[in-house]
């Protein structure tokens, strides 16, 4: 079952300024441009417009640019981190959401320059401060990547 199969109440939109408030990532490693359908403690959809100017395309692969799969996983992770950071109301510089694990990663279709990514992520559960998620990267109606992953809030270095 796809993460987008169930209709849900429309959630809040999050712009780049708010993303930068909650996430420590910056260009060229910030993998989401904005987010939609934020529902506190439940789900979010990260959005990324993939540009031909992305710094990894010249080397991955010359003449056949494909977004690396690990960056698709990172985009899911950043979307999940935004969901949890905003839900918890984390203060900049206080705590950072960091990956603990990635499971069941699958790559279904390539992502190329010009693609517009929708990255739906659902929070499955929180156990002992560990957040468990289910995520996808979609281009239109095609699933490009999917995985389950976990993360935890850790103190940011001072």
Q: What is the pLDDT of residues 89-121, one digit of tens each?
A: 988 788 989 999 999 999 999 999 999 999 999
Residue 95, beta-bridge partner list: 155
Could you report the per-residue pLDDT of 113-158, keeping only the tens digit for each?
999 999 999 999 999 999 999 999 999 999 999 999 999 999 987 6
- DSSP-derived 3-state class of residue 154: strand
Residue 117, beta-bridge partner list: 48, 139
pLDDT at 3 over 60: no
Domain boundaries, the chain: 12-155
Which residues are known catalytic residues? 60
User: 124, 27, 136: which is closest to 79 by C-alpha?
Assistant: 136
pLDDT at 7 over 50: no
Distances in whole angstroms, Cα of residue 85 to Cα of each of 128, 130, 137: 16, 13, 20
Which one is the CATH code of 12-155: 3.10.129.10, 1.10.1470.10, 3.40.1260.10, 3.40.1010.20? 3.10.129.10
First to last CA, the chain: 42
pLDDT of res. 130: 96
pLDDT of res. 94: 87
> pLDDT band at residue 47, thresholds of 50, 70 and 90?
very high
pLDDT of res. 10: 79
| Backbone torsion region of residue 26, taken as left when φ is above 0, otherwise alpha when ψ lies between -120 and 50, otherwise beta | beta
> pLDDT band at residue 9, thresholds of 50, 70 and 90?
low
pLDDT of res. 93: 81
Could you report the per-residue pLDDT of 10-40, keeping only the tens digit for each?
789 999 999 999 999 999 999 999 999 999 9
CA gap 152, 24 in Å, rounded:
15
> pLDDT band at residue 56, thresholds of 50, 70 and 90?
very high
Average pLDDT, rounded, for the chain: 92
């Amino acid at each position: 079952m796809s993460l987008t199969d169930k209709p849900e109440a429309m959630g809040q939109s999050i712009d780049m300024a708010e993303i930068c408030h909650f996430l420590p990532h910056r260009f060229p490693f910030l993998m989401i441009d904005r987010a939609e359908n934020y529902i506190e403690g439940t789900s979010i959809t990260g959005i990324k417009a993939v540009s031909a100017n992305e710094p990894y395309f010249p080397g991955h692969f010359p003449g056949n640019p494909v977004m690396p799969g690990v960056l698709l996983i990172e985009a899911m992770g950043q979307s999940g981190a935004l969901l949890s950071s905003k839900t918890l109301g984390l203060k900049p510089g206080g705590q950072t959401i960091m990956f603990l694990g990635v499971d069941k990663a699958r790559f279904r279709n390539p992502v190329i320059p010009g693609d517009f990514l929708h990255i739906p992520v659902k929070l499955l559960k929180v156990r002992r401060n560990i957040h468990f998620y289910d995520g996808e990267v979609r281009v239109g109606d095609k699933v490009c990547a999917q995985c389950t992953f976990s993360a935890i809030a850790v103190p940011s270095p001072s």
